[in-house]
Amino acid sequence: MSARLLLLLALPLPALAATVNVGVIEGDSLEGSYADLVAALNDSEVYDIDAELVVAADVTGVADLSGYDVIVIGSSGHSDFSRYTDAFKGAMDGYATGGGSVVTAAWTSYEGPSTTLSWLPIDQASRDGAYCTGPTTVTPTVVHPIVDGVGEFVDTSTYWETPGPALAGSEIIATGCGGKPAITVREATGGVGRLVYIGGTYTGDTASYKNEGLRSGAADQLMEQAVIWASDACPDEDEDGVNACAGDCDDADPARFPGNPEVCDDIDNDCNDEVDDGLATTDFWPDGDEDGAGDASVEAVADCADALDGYVGNDDDCDDADPDRFSGNPEVCDELDNDCNDEVDDGLATTDFWPDVDEDGFGDSESDATASCFDELAGYADNDDDCDDDAAEVNPDAAEILDNAVDEDCDGQAQVSPDEGDDEDDGGCGCTSTDATAPMGLVVVLPLLIAGLRRRRR
């Protein structure tokens, strides 16, 4: 198994998106558009939201709200707040002070009593009860998960409420109505869960407020992200702007989240279950002998990196186990195909050699020459001067031996007398007249004496 495959297997598994359970308080079922808001939340293409209507009149205690991660409450513009029972108000206070999170929309500030509510991030007692007529430009002013990815947009609803001044510890994260507060948030504190106030008429009667635009686009994203942030069910642990509910596949790594540009780092940066996808790649081949040339006998590995450990960007090696063999390597005299052109020792200066079977230093004149780039060749000589390659005593440097009919020095004749040249014809007598010594004289007279004796006997 390759190291790269092991690395891919070691990547963290995608985080499982948590389901956020949302209760949308229905204040006036005949006039409101609460069901439309529930449908818009459940249709989220990014978050796993399970929203349902909660009839205010059916809420008699905190237990009726305890199954929800966050409560969304707003008014239809028909004095819903005045219709809430004391039991409902007590349940909402108990839910919030027990750590529950609440997202509030218009007209809660405008219709609410002049008292501080535990589930509002604004100072209800000193609220600004004003509102503006649409269209309304909403402008995010700070970096916050609720407005992440939401740029300035225009809401075409009839009205947008200004949610008034923030309580201590609260923060205004967007403006509207000519620069007035449009969205106010507060972190969980003092036992109260996270709180959000959005001035849009999300729960307002559709016929009266023409708020269809709040069900899609930037305004819809704003409400979805408000619910997710308030629920705290999907925190953004790595602070990359995307939590697990929004598809962050690794909330411990800020380099991994949907929409993040893919970079060459062996990591799935954009959380699409593919590593380093869409990047330009280079083909690499293994370089086992580390000679800078890749093994041509194996398939290339495509990688986005500029370099890959143990690999090179070419397939010029015909023998990846021998660092002296690769394309472009200078040919040397070593009986190897150094430059991988399928020829051994080609292009080098050569010397002719002849077999020297008797190892006397002289090559066989009757054999064909063998060309070699080596200075020496075992069993061969660099000449063809030997007239008998089976006899080491026969070669041009050998001393001639008399009267053996052998041409020891390979000059073409066998020597019969030390004073006679090898190639002189002595008529078959094997003698010369140049020597005046007594023994040689007897050789001449003796035949005559023998002939005379034979005549006397007759």
The two three-digit tokens of residue 426, written as one number: 């002595």
Query: Which pLDDT score is estimated for 420?
Result: 53
Query: Which pLDDT score is estimated for 240?
Result: 87
Q: Across residues 404-432, what is the average pLDDT?
A: 64
Q: Across residues 253-281, what is the average pLDDT?
A: 93
Q: Across residues 290-319, what is the average pLDDT?
A: 94
Query: Which pLDDT score is estimated for 64?
Result: 96
Q: Please determine, for residue 375, whether its predicted confidence score (pLDDT) is greater than 70.
A: yes
Q: Across residues 408-414, what is the average pLDDT?
A: 87
Concatenated DSSP letters of 246-278: GT-S-TT-TT-STTPPP-SSSS-TTSSS-SSTT
Query: Which pLDDT score is estimated for 437?
Result: 43
Give every CB contact of residue 5 below 8 A, 6+ residues apart in sequence: none
Q: Please, what sign has the CA dihedral across residues 217, 219, 224, 226? A: positive
What digits encode the pLDDT tens for the residues 249-258? 898 899 999 8
Amino acid letter, 253: D
Most confidently modeled range among 79-83, 122-126, 267-271: 267-271
- Contact between 153 and 139 under an 8 Å Cβ cutoff? The reply is no
With cut-offs at 50, 70 and 90, classify the pLDDT of residue 405.
confident
Round to whole Å and give the CA distance between 87 and 186: 25
* Average pLDDT score, the chain: 84
Query: Which pLDDT score is estimated for 164?
Result: 83
Q: Across residues 39-65, what is the average pLDDT?
A: 93
Pairwise pLDDT comparison (385 vs 422), residue with the higher score: 385
Q: Please determine, for residue 419, whether its predicted confidence score (pLDDT) is greater than 70.
A: no
Q: Across residues 95-110, what is the average pLDDT?
A: 92
Q: Where are the domains of the chain?
A: 20-231, 280-347, 349-429
Q: Across residues 374-379, what is the average pLDDT?
A: 93
Helix (H) or strand (E) holding 109: helix 108-111
Round to whole Å and give the CA distance between 368 and 308: 52
| Location of structure tokens 């050998």 | 398
Concatenated DSSP letters of 272-336: SS-SSTTS--EEEEE-TT-SS--BTTS--EEESSS--TTEES---BS-TT-TT--TTPPP-SSSS
| Location of structure tokens 């590593």 | 275
Lowest mean pLDDT among 11-15, 259-263, 338-342, 376-380: 11-15
Most confidently modeled range among 106-120, 378-392, 398-412: 378-392
CA angle 63, 81, 64 (to 5 degrees): 10
Give every CB contact of residue 275 below 8 A, 6+ residues apart in sequence: 8, 11, 266, 267, 268
Of the chain, the end-to-end C-alpha distance in Å amounts to 118
Q: Is 144 helix (H, G, I), strand (E, B) or coil?
A: coil
With cut-offs at 50, 70 and 90, classify the pLDDT of residue 451.
very low
Query: Which pLDDT score is estimated for 31?
Result: 60
Query: Which pLDDT score is estimated for 30?
Result: 58
Q: Across residues 141-156, what is the average pLDDT?
A: 92
Long-range contacts of 291-295 (CB under 8 A, 24+ apart): 291/317, 291/323, 291/324, 291/325, 291/326, 291/329, 292/326, 293/317, 293/320, 293/326, 293/327, 293/328, 294/320, 295/320
Q: Say if residue 229 is preceded by a cis peptide, omega within 30 of 0.
A: no
Return the DSSP state at 17.
Answer: P
Q: Is 401 helix (H, G, I), strand (E, B) or coil?
A: coil
Q: Is 380 helix (H, G, I), strand (E, B) or coil?
A: strand
Round to whole Å and give the CA distance between 230 and 296: 59
Pairwise pLDDT comparison (245 vs 275), residue with the higher score: 275
**189 φ, ψ (degrees, to nearest 5):** -160, 150
As a whole-number percent, the residues of the chain with pLDDT over 90 amount to 62
Round to whole Å and give the CA distance between 245 and 229: 10
Q: Exposure pattern of 146-179 as b/e (b: 16+ CB <10 Å)?
A: bbbebeebebebbbbbbbbbbbeebebbbbbbee
Concatenated DSSP letters of 333-379: SSSS-TTSSS-SSTTS--EEEEE-TT-SS--BTTSPPEEESSS--TT
Round to whole Å and give the CA distance between 228 and 20: 7
With cut-offs at 50, 70 and 90, classify the pLDDT of residue 123.
confident
The two three-digit tokens of residue 383, written as one number: 């000449």
Round to whole Å and give the CA distance between 217 and 225: 12
Query: Which pLDDT score is estimated for 421?
Result: 53
Q: Please determine, for residue 76, whether its predicted confidence score (pLDDT) is greater than 60.
A: yes
Report the predicted TM-score, pTM, of the whole model to 2 decimal places.
Answer: 0.56
* Top CATH class, 20-231: alpha beta
Query: Which pLDDT score is estimated for 155?
Result: 95
- Contact between 104 and 71 under an 8 Å Cβ cutoff? The reply is no
Q: Please determine, for residue 441, whether its predicted confidence score (pLDDT) is greater than 60.
A: no
Give every CB contact of residue 51 below 8 A, 6+ residues apart in sequence: 21, 22, 23, 24, 37, 38, 41, 42, 72, 227
Query: Which pLDDT score is estimated for 142?
Result: 93
What digits encode the pLDDT tens for the residues 178-208? 899 999 999 999 999 999 999 999 998 888 8
Q: Please determine, for residue 243, whether its predicted confidence score (pLDDT) is greater than 80.
A: no
Query: Which pLDDT score is estimated for 457?
Result: 39
Lowest mean pLDDT among 87-101, 162-176, 336-350, 410-424: 410-424
Q: Across residues 163-187, what is the average pLDDT?
A: 92
